């Protein structure tokens, strides 16, 4: 029997983690989680997931640590090839922020975006698509990724 992919969720909202875990484990994915980017990066180095699902905003002060974690992953040769699916509600919480994957995505080395609240079917479709690609298109970042 083929072993399903390992997915690491880096998210500070336990309810969001639980909801994503239910959807992913129902498809037999192996799921681990971390509530802080630093913990998540450590778990990624140890566990070598096939995909990282990464939130943007962390903590009570809502710092954009997810952006920093994505950049750190791309700069780390151990983690650079792992696809990243970024989960964001930044435009809902901060309408003036105006983050757009279409215009700003070139500067942020992640492989896909999904808006909160995450719908299980949307999550599964994005996960399956990114896992099918096997490695991140940004693995050679900061050189420009292939489109």
Distance CA(119)–CA(124), nearest Å, equals: 9
pTM of the model: 0.88
User: Per the domain annotation, does 140 fall within a domain?
Assistant: no
Percent residues over pLDDT 90 in the chain: 63
Encode pLDDT of 96-133 as tens digits: 555 555 555 556 789 988 988 899 999 999 999 999 99
CATH code assigned at 87: 3.40.50.2300
In this structure, is the dihedral angle defined by the CA atoms of residues 60, 64, 111 and 100, taken in order, positive or negative?
positive
What's the distance, CA 14 to chain centroid? 16
Q: Give the span between the Cα atoms of 40 and 18, in whole angstroms.
A: 16
The per-residue pLDDT for range 43-83, each reduced to its tens digit, is 999 999 999 999 998 987 778 899 999 999 999 999 999 99
pLDDT band of 147, cuts 50, 70, 90 = very low
- Note down the domain range covering 45: 6-133
The residue among 89, 82, 69 whose CA lies nearest residue 10 is: 69
Alpha-carbon distance of 36 to 25, in angstroms, equals 21
The total domain count for the chain is 1
């Amino acid at each position: 029997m083929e072993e399903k992919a390992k997915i690491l969720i880096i998210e500070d909202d336990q309810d969001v983690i639980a909801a994503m875990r239910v959807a992913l484990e129902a498809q037999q994915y192996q799921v681990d989680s971390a509530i802080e980017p630093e913990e998540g990066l450590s778990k990624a180095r140890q566990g070598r997931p096939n995909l990282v699902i990464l939130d943007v905003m962390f903590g009570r002060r809502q710092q954009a640590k997810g952006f920093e974690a994505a950049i750190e992953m791309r700069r780390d040769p151990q983690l650079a090839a792992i696809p990243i699916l970024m989960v964001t509600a930044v435009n809902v919480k901060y309408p003036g922020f105006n983050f757009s994957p279409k215009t700003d995505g070139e500067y942020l080395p992640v492989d896909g975006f999904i808006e909160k609240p995450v719908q299980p079917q949307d999550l599964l479709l994005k996960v399956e698509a990114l896992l099918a690609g096997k490695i991140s298109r940004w693995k050679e970042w900061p050189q420009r990724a292939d489109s």
